[in-house]
Amino acid sequence: MTKQSGRILAAVLAGLFLTGCSLFKGAEPNDPDPVDPNAGTGIEEPAGSVDPVTPPEGDPADAVDPSGTAAETPTEGQPDASANDPGAITTPELPTPVVPDPGTSSPGEDAGTGDGLHVTDIRLDKYIVAVEVGKSDMPLVTMLPSTALDVGEIWTSDDTAVASVSTWGKITGISPGECRVTVRSTDNPDVKAVVEVMVVESTDVIHVKQISLDKYETTIHVGLMDMPWVTMYPTNAKDKGEIWTSDDTAVATVDQYGRITGVGPGTCTVTVRSKDNQDVTAKITVHVKIGEDAKEPTYIDGTLIVNRTYGLPRTYNPGVSAEAKTALDELIAGASEDGLEFWVESGFRSYDQQLSLYNTYVGREGKDAADRYSARPGHSEHQSGLAFDLNSFDDNFDQTPEGKWLAAHAWEYGFTLRYPKDKEDITGFMYEPWHVRYIGKTLAQKLHDSGQVLEEYFDITSVYAD
Ligand SMILES: [Zn+2]
């Protein structure tokens, strides 16, 4: 789905048929999640977005997001009535122009002279534009390599009766028709990029001419999801509705928003088609593998290890550890003596709760983004019952009195701050100043004294098998 349609769909869902999925993809990171994605992260969303995550029921350790999780109704945009009618088929009216592939329109950065001083490639943010007569548009230009000394541009139009272009790339519609606008490097005029320009009357409907995806191949596990980002060109096309299909639903299914779910091992092709112009498609090859859950939890010297390398079985479902909870109560009492207040935002999460949470994040932002801050099911430390997220899912928590106290004193109660800043490559997770893991006082003191995380102390990795 597209970012813009994401917002619109979120509005539709909020008002009409909340399905709790990736419609939130367009959300920007800015307000605390009710449940830390493993988790976690400081990723937040705007107040107007819909948050589909529901804190797990019956889990006293999981607090409800204090900012409120009720779905609000965004005001931007009105749903296109046809957006939910996959049966509607429109006949393409304009001939499809010769369209350059944005991904391969020019040689790579290493092509050409390759000395880093000369331009070898020109990239644009769009290769197809539609402008009304008298209106303008201007593609953004990136000259590569970034170290090139002369990044001057030469712009030309092959039909100035249709569209003119200024010396800095501002394309203006003159009369209805199609033409090509080319930008060349002053440094190396052989290096160029071409923009297909459609000039239309203000009353004309602008149709979709091309679809591009952020990726054309993905690998997912059975039961997990991915969601490609879609861009339809020209970006001001009127109807950017998407029709998604899978050519083998025994391998992967796809919903109307482009959320692909692995069903069974194999490879299939998922296609997105423009509702407006069904000749326009993009395809993604989907490889589905059977995820291999851990058979047994992994203990090293008596310490349970949960990270990207060491997972927990789906059946491992201990709830909050009584020992960890007792230690946490002591920590909270100790902080209270210093005038500080701690509370639990998120504690134990089952495998299935993590599965749901992970897929929710994938459905918002795609798998690549979700993997950066949300643990895959079986790989969240919260499933151990030994981890707690305290007070706030905000990176700036470490600047608060509570955050500073936690960093200084957690070890005294048998906890370690599991995901420090600067150790993301080692732990496999983004910085989480709010996430503590109970490991007992002896080991906690060792980690505190050495400045190590569990992975360093035990000399182990934290990397997904694929
Ligand atoms: Zn956490």
DSSP letters spanning 313-331 = -TT----S-HHHHHHHHHH
In whole angstroms, what is the distance from residue 152 CA to residue 339 CA?
A: 61
Interval between CA 461 and ligand 1 midpoint (Å): 19
- In angstroms, the Cα distances linking 207 to 94, 159, 162, 241 are 8, 21, 18, 11
Interval between CA 41 and ligand 1 midpoint (Å): 8
Interval between CA 60 and ligand 1 midpoint (Å): 15
Identified catalytic residue from 196, 345, 432, 455: 432
Distance, CA of 104 to chain centre: 24
**36-53 pLDDT, tens digit each:** 444 433 343 334 333 333
Q: Edge-to-edge strands of the sheet including 415-419?
A: 344-346, 387-390, 432-438, 415-419
In whole angstroms, what is the distance from residue 72 CA to residue 10 CA?
A: 9
**pLDDT in the model for residue 45:** 38
Interval between CA 36 and ligand 1 midpoint (Å): 5
**pLDDT in the model for residue 107:** 45
pLDDT mean for each 10 residues of the chain (466 residues) = 46 35 36 40 39 36 36 37 38 39 43 76 95 96 93 96 97 97 95 96 92 96 95 94 98 97 97 96 96 90 96 96 98 97 96 96 93 93 98 93 97 97 93 97 97 97 90
**pLDDT in the model for residue 372:** 85
Nearest to 33 by CA among 25, 21, 41: 41
CA 412, 447, 297, 62 dihedral sign is positive
Interval between CA 212 and ligand 1 midpoint (Å): 35
In whole angstroms, what is the distance from residue 4 CA to residue 184 CA?
A: 31
Query: What is the number of other CB atoms lying within 10 angstroms of the CB of residue 321?
Result: 18
**pLDDT in the model for residue 312:** 97
Interval between CA 388 and ligand 1 midpoint (Å): 6
Nearest to 159 by CA among 129, 179, 182: 179
**pLDDT in the model for residue 284:** 98
By CB atoms closer than 10 A (0-12, 13-18, 19+), residue 166 is: exposed
Across 93-185, where does the E strand assignment appear?
121-124, 128-132, 136-137, 141-144, 153-157, 163-165, 171-173, 177-185
| Those residues with Cβ within 8 angstroms of residue 196's Cβ, 6 or more apart along the chain or in another chain | 97, 98, 99, 100, 127, 128, 129, 178, 180, 209
Catalytic annotation present for 432: yes
Residue 205 is given by DSSP the state P
Interval between CA 39 and ligand 1 midpoint (Å): 4
**pLDDT in the model for residue 2:** 57
